[in-house]
Each structure stands twice: as structure tokens, then as C-alpha cells.
Amino acid sequence: METIFAPWRGEYINGIGNHAKNPDNPQECVFCSAIKATDDFERYIIYRGINAFVILNLYPYNNGHMLIIPYNHVSDLSQLNTETHHEMMDLIVKAQKVLQDVYHPHGMNIGANIGTAAGAGIDQHLHFHILPRWTADVNFMTTIGQTRVIPEKLDETWKKIRASWQKID
């Protein structure tokens, strides 16, 4: 396997990946910290709802990879009220429409990893992933090079998705 020098991953591994702690305040979850941000662009927040919000994944699998996150700091769906369940599903549906509008993918992955055993990198604050997929998007770099290529900056992704989010009902 080839080695790629990526020192920026250290911050993720030692901070965000360490049980979702905010590097500036280790007592605070990174998602809870994002909620408090006043600049949506700076934190890549796409939309703020009543019970949940939408944000870009800082370490996306593909361009457009979004997270749907309740404001409540809970780790399990059963800890949310019905209004939050409904709003999160509505946000997932809208995110799917936006991704279709912006990227025209062949499919979507939508899901939640609940608990570290299920693959949750941030296991104490429930969140859903929604990301576009294309036929054969696992290419040579991924299968042979064991490296994923993300061809678009998060700044550009945010601008495209935010504009589409505001125009789509």
C-alpha cells in the first residue's frame, strides 16, 4: 500500500475523531459547537431547522456528503421526540432533492451508524449521512490505490448546495 502524507488528518484523529470533542473546548461535542456558530459558511451549515440542522461532512466520501443532525445531543433515535423524527426525515428528503439538482447522481446512500460497533465515528451525537453515488464511483484510485479523490473544495460544495437548498421546496 502507498503512503500519502496528510498531516491535516491529525486534527481529525486527535480532535473530532476522538469522541467528537471540540478541539477548542474538549468538553463540547463538535456538532454542538457547530450549532452555536454564527457564520454558516465557516462551519459549512447548509440549513438550520427547528429541531435539526444540515451540515457538510468535513471528511466526505463524495462531493455533496451531508449530515442531518438533531439539535438534541443524543445517541439513539428513541431519545428524540416525534417532531424531531419527522423534521429529520423531511430534511433527508430535501437533501436528496438538492443532491439530484446539483450533482445528478445515479443513486444515494442514506443512513445512520448508531454506536461505534456500527461504524459511528461520532457516536454520542446521532446523525444521518446522505451522499450522492455514481455508477463506478469506486475507481482505480479507490480500489488499487486505496485512496479516495474528492475533486471539489468544500467551499464550492457549500455554495452549490446552499443555493439549491434555498430554491427547492
Catalytic residues: 127
What SS3 string covers the chain? CCCCCCCCHHHHHHHHCCCCEECCEEEEEHHHHHHHCCCHHHHCEEEECCCEEEEECCCCCCCCCEEEEECCCCCCHHHCCHHHHHHHHHHHHHHHHHHHHHHCCCEEEEECCCCHHHCCCCCCCCCEEEEEECCCCCCHHHHCCCCCCCCCCHHHHHHHHHHHHHHCC
